[in-house]
Structure 1
Amino acid sequence: MPMTSLNINGKSIDAKLGETLLDVAERGGLALQCDCGNITCESTRVTVVSGEVEANGTRLKSTVLACKATVAGDAEIKLPASSELQSLKGHVSAIRQVSDDLIELRLSFTKPISWRPGQYYHVEFRGQERVNMFASFALDAGTEFNTLIFLIERANTPDLFAMIVKKGDVKGRVGITGPYGSSFLGHDDERLIMIAGPNSLAPIWAMALSSVMGQPRREKVLILDKSLKQDQFQQVFNWLNRRGLQPTFVDLQGKNAETELKALLPDLTEFDMVYTAGSHGFIAGLEGIFVEAQATYARIPNFQPWHELEAQPDDASALEPA
């Protein structure tokens, strides 16, 4: 079989034509935290610096998904500098039911936790099915070392939500594995545009807080679906408003969503960095705007329970913009 060479993060690795980039990277000892295996988790997105690869329907600007993209010749690939994958046992240190549909959960660990806004964890309570949840911050922006905070929405994890409400307290150990996902906040100079769809505020809230605190001079735009304008999130909006980041609420699910989004972003260019969180259908319905403008674009998909996620069709074209 014809051979070629991939340069991945400065390391030259022999590769076979038609081999996935993920297989080449793993053989070369380079970690890519592949989760779902069928392109829905976005955890293996890498940048093609030069050369050619067969994207197999996963290309976004200069990026492809390494789990599906294959070797087509000599190329240089850059992997994201993600946090190290960890499997830890922790315990519930606090539960606060914010509203009838939202719980704020705090987990504590004996080891330091490293994650980036936009990444998620597998979380498993004893007797409950494993769920994927995005690490975030408390609604009042408070946090502590060696802790993870999750916003548990009834619509996203109904079984877990019902269990916590029923028991009123959760005892015993909680297992986590992660973080997963390559669409996390970076330290770039481009204008930062953050968009959250229904039931998808947690990763965007984490990204907004981190950018306000850590990147105060970076230009930022925060656009939220109107369904998120709820009393239970008012602490988030107040905190952001006090620090100069005014959320804009708009109907991002209606037939005029693209028109309204374009009106909010009339100067969208290739120098913008866009993160969109939501269901796969929600993301696919909007991403054509960013692709057309050639903006750097990242998807943050929310999840069903893991067995439903694994049942997604193994078809890259199903997630391509129409």
Structure 2
Amino acid sequence: MPMTSLNINGRSIDAKLGETLLEVAERGGLALQCDCGHTTCESTRVTVISGEVEANGSRLKSTVLACKATVAGDAELKLPASSELQSLKGHVSAVRKVSDDLFELRLSFTKPISWRPGQYYHVEFRGQERVNLFASFALDAGTEFNTLIFLIEQANTPDLFAMLAKKGDVKGRVGITGPYGSSFLGHDDEPLIMVAGPNSLPPIWAMALSSVMGQPRREKMLILDQSLKQDQFQQVFNWLNRRGIQPTFADLQGVGAAETLQALLPDLTEFDMAYMAGSRDFIASLEHVFIEAQATYGRIPNFQPWDDVAEPIDDAAAMEPAE
């Protein structure tokens, strides 16, 4: 089989034409946490600096999914500097019922926890199916050392929600593995646009808080589906308002939702950085707004109970490389 070479994060690795980029990276000892096995988790997105790869429908601007894209010739790639994958045992240190369909869950560990806003964990409680949960912050922006906070919404994790509702103050052991996902907040200078769909506030709230605290001079815009304008999230909105970010609420699900989003971003260009969290259908209905503007763009797909059998987003048509 014809051979070629990939330069990945400065390391030259021999490769075979037709191999997936993930196979080459793993053979070279470079970590990419492929989680879902069928291109829907967005955990293996890498940047193509130069050369050729066969994107196989996974291209977003200059990025491709390494689990789907294959070697087509010599190329230079850049892998994201993600947090190291950890498997830890911890315990439930607090459960707070926020509303009839939202709990705030706090897990504590004996080792430091490292993650980036936009990433998620596998979380396993004794006697429960594993769930994928986005790490976030408490609604009042509070946190503690060696803790993870998850906002448990009934629509996303009904079984876990039912367990918390039934048992109330759960104090059991819990295991986590992660963090996963490559669409996380980076240390960039581009204007930051954050969009959240129904039942998808936790990762965007984490991004908003982190950008306010760590990137105070960065231009920011937060656009939320109108379904998120609920009393249970008022602490979040108050905290952001006090720090100069006023969320914009809009109908991002109805007829003309893409036009609505486009009208809110009349000056969108390739120099903007956008993240969108939501179901795959929600993302697919709106993402062409960012793709057509050539904005740098990250997907944060929400994990609904039926995601294990759903088909991945079909992005083959509009994903042309940036000029």
The interval holding the TM-score normalised by the smaller chain is over 0.9
Q: Give the whole-Å Cα distance in 1 for the aligned partners of 2:197 and 2:279.
A: 8
Correspondence for 2:90: 90
Q: Give the whole-Å Cα distance in 2 for the aligned partners of 1:317 and 1:278.
A: 16
Q: Which amino acid aligns with 1:232?
A: Q
> Structure 1 residues 320 and 134, CA, compared in 2 at 3 Å: closer, same or farther?
farther
- Cα pair 2:279 2:302 within 8 Å, conserved: yes
Alignment of 1:89-238 (within 5 A): 89-238=89-238
Alignment of 1:1-322 (within 5 A): 1-305=1-305, 308-313=306-311, 317=314
Give the Å deviation of 1:25: 0.1
Over aligned residue pairs, what C-alpha RMSD do you find?
Answer: 1.3
Q: Give the whole-Å Cα distance in 2 for the aligned partners of 1:24 and 1:191.
A: 34
Structure 2: gaps (5+ residues): none
Q: Give the whole-Å Cα distance in 2 for the aligned partners of 1:319 and 1:94.
A: 44
Cα deviations across residues 260-283 of structure 1 (Å, max 9, x unaligned)?
Answer: 111110000000000000000000
Q: Give the whole-Å Cα distance in 1 for the aligned partners of 2:80 and 2:65.
A: 12
- Cα pair 2:121 2:133 within 8 Å, conserved: yes
Give the Å deviation of 1:37: 1.0
Give the Å deviation of 1:169: 2.0
- Cα pair 1:91 1:173 within 8 Å, conserved: yes
SS at match of 1:317: coil
SS at match of 1:105: strand
- Cα pair 1:4 1:15 within 8 Å, conserved: yes
Tell me the number of residue pairs that the alignment of Structure 1 and Structure 2 aligns. 319
SS at match of 1:255: coil
- Cα pair 1:190 1:272 within 8 Å, conserved: yes
TM-score (norm 2): 0.97
Q: Which amino acid aligns with 2:114?
A: S
> Structure 1 residues 316 and 68, CA, compared in 2 at 3 Å: closer, same or farther?
farther
> Structure 1 residues 294 and 252, CA, compared in 2 at 3 Å: closer, same or farther?
same
Q: Give the whole-Å Cα distance in 1 for the aligned partners of 2:267 and 2:54.
A: 32
Q: Give the whole-Å Cα distance in 2 for the aligned partners of 1:318 and 1:244.
A: 35
> Structure 1 residues 75 and 42, CA, compared in 2 at 3 Å: closer, same or farther?
same
Structure 1: gaps (5+ residues): none
Q: Which amino acid aligns with 1:105?
A: L
Cα deviations across residues 63-104 of structure 1 (Å, max 9, x unaligned)?
Answer: 000000000000000000000000000001011000001000
- Higher mean C-alpha deviation, range 19-28 or range 252-261: 252-261
Q: Give the whole-Å Cα distance in 2 for the aligned partners of 1:243 and 1:227.
A: 23
Q: Give the whole-Å Cα distance in 2 for the aligned partners of 1:277 and 1:105.
A: 20
Q: Give the whole-Å Cα distance in 2 for the aligned partners of 1:213 and 1:78.
A: 27
SS at match of 2:287: helix
Q: Which amino acid aligns with 2:50?
A: S
> Structure 1 residues 173 and 321, CA, compared in 2 at 3 Å: closer, same or farther?
farther
Q: Which amino acid aligns with 1:67?
A: C
SS at match of 2:206: helix
> Structure 1 residues 261 and 317, CA, compared in 2 at 3 Å: closer, same or farther?
closer
Q: Give the whole-Å Cα distance in 1 for the aligned partners of 2:236 and 2:170.
A: 26
Q: Give the whole-Å Cα distance in 2 for the aligned partners of 1:233 and 1:41.
A: 26
SS at match of 1:160: helix
> Structure 1 residues 319 and 206, CA, compared in 2 at 3 Å: closer, same or farther?
farther
Cα deviations across residues 6-59 of structure 1 (Å, max 9, x unaligned)?
Answer: 000000000000000000000000000110011110000000000010000000
TM-score (norm 1): 0.97
- Cα pair 2:93 2:171 within 8 Å, conserved: no
Give the Å deviation of 1:319: 8.0
SS at match of 1:209: helix
Q: Give the whole-Å Cα distance in 1 for the aligned partners of 2:73 and 2:163.
A: 52
- Cα pair 1:125 1:175 within 8 Å, conserved: yes
Q: Give the whole-Å Cα distance in 2 for the aligned partners of 1:63 and 1:145.
A: 34
> Structure 1 residues 270 and 21, CA, compared in 2 at 3 Å: closer, same or farther?
same
Q: Give the whole-Å Cα distance in 2 for the aligned partners of 1:259 and 1:280.
A: 19
- Cα pair 2:199 2:278 within 8 Å, conserved: yes
Q: Using the aligned pairs only, state the percent identity.
A: 84
Q: Give the whole-Å Cα distance in 2 for the aligned partners of 1:175 and 1:302.
A: 21
